[in-house]
Amino acid sequence: MKKNIELKIRFELVREQTERICEPLEIEDYIVQPMANVSPPKWHIGHSTWFYEEFLLKKYVKDYKVFHKDFSFIFNSYYNNVGDRVERPNRGFLSRPPVREVVKYRHYVTQKCVELLESSPSDEVLDIFEVGINHEQQHQELLVYDIKYILGTQPLLPVYGKQFATQKENEAGFFSFKAGLYEIGAKDLGFTYDNEHGSHQVYLQDFQISKSLVSNGEYLEFMNAGGYKDFNLWLSEGWDFIQKEKIVAPLYWSLINGEWYNYTLNGFEKVVLESPVQHVSFYEAQAYASWKGMRLPTEFEWECAADKLNWGQLWEWTNSAYLPYPNYQKAPSALGEYNGKFMSNQNVLRGSSVATPTGHSRKTYRNFFHASSRWLYSGIRLSK
């Protein structure tokens, strides 16, 4: 199949999938922003549309007529090169354009993109489509996090559906690896981000890595042993964080009559002890590991072990800071604002999650969040 037709098919599938994720929502759910890091679903569906309009249609379609002159201001996320924008914490103040208008915008841009793809465009255009598709897939995963946060903070705790649920894991024990030079980073097979480019060698010491993620039951032992009260287990910033935010359990957990419940997309229910613990910050992951007398893996250990691991239910916090690989080069132009500029004070997570779109995971993928983030689909794997 020709590359443009293959891309067109993937493009259309991705566009549909974004809409499918939003299907269980009420119009009202598209609008709210209960914390600054959470974007309203309306914004996601507009922004993942704007990206194609801005970086493809405006540049490569002759006489392209923008859908609405103000939408670039409304749906730009953080691209300084593209101009001013609604400040992130204010996205939840936007009642207009109404959802149906954003959906119209979405369909208009989808249609124009399909036409562009069918016109046998240059490789440059196809490459940007590839970025756009991957960009939208990232927003699909964020959409799931944000929808869960929006619904999970409603007093009425509404049900979304059984999608995106995790399964029990139960393989005990550790895999062992020998010290030596290992190859890290993406080689050129399929799309990868600039932050994983530059395949290079890393010297690792002997290490062991656990076969399963830490379960809710194991995490409860930590809680019951006073883990949230023993400062010696915590990083200094982590301790300050849980004091200030009064955190005593993973996000979405509530203690009711002595039993732990949690909000899931399928409603409010008892914590399932055998499922992997979810919605913990890096700080909590690190404290748990410390309590076990172990540690979190580095991102290099993880990548080296990936082929043996059964990964993919939850993103796994590593003890690696998000930093450039040797010879890292950021892309030119606005697309260069994609990864490099976030390389400070973030932690790398590796793997993928039940919310990760099909085809959007690989062992070299470097996800990153601030150490205090809890609304993502994060879990804990131990190392020693």
Residues that bind its own copies (CB under 8 A): 26-34, 42, 70, 73-74, 78, 80-81, 86, 90, 92-99, 150-151, 153-156, 158, 181, 200-203, 205, 231-232, 234-239, 282-283, 286, 295, 319-321, 323-324, 326-327, 336-337, 341-345, 347, 371
Backbone torsions φ then ψ of 200, nearest 5 degrees:
-155, 165
18/20 Cα distance (integer angstroms): 5
Question: Residue 190 or 332: which CB sits closer to its own copies?
Answer: 332
145/164 Cα distance (integer angstroms): 10
Is the distance from CB of 81 to CB of 168 less than 8 angstroms?
no
Question: Residue 95 or 224: which CB sits closer to its own copies?
Answer: 95
Q: Which positions ≥6 away from 16 have C-beta within 8 Å?
A: none
> Taking the complex as a whole, how short is the minimal distance between the CB of residue 358 and its own copies, in angstroms?
28
Question: Residue 94 or 306: which CB sits closer to its own copies?
Answer: 94
Q: Is 116 helix (H, G, I), strand (E, B) or coil?
A: helix
Question: Residue 19 or 237: which CB sits closer to its own copies?
Answer: 237
Is the distance from CB of 131 to CB of 337 less than 8 angstroms?
no
Is the distance from CB of 209 to CB of 302 less than 8 angstroms?
yes
> Taking the complex as a whole, how short is the minimal distance between the CB of residue 281 and its own copies, in angstroms?
11
> Taking the complex as a whole, how short is the minimal distance between the CB of residue 344 and its own copies, in angstroms?
5
The strand pairing partners of 203, in sequence order, are 181
Question: Residue 74 or 116: which CB sits closer to its own copies?
Answer: 74
Question: Residue 200 or 270: which CB sits closer to its own copies?
Answer: 200
> Taking the complex as a whole, how short is the minimal distance between the CB of residue 370 and its own copies, in angstroms?
9
> Taking the complex as a whole, how short is the minimal distance between the CB of residue 177 and its own copies, in angstroms?
12
> Taking the complex as a whole, how short is the minimal distance between the CB of residue 279 and its own copies, in angstroms?
18
Q: Is 142 helix (H, G, I), strand (E, B) or coil?
A: helix
**Which ranges constitute the DSSP H helices of the chain?**
3-22, 41-52, 58-60, 71-75, 99-118, 123-152, 216-224, 236-244, 282-291, 299-305
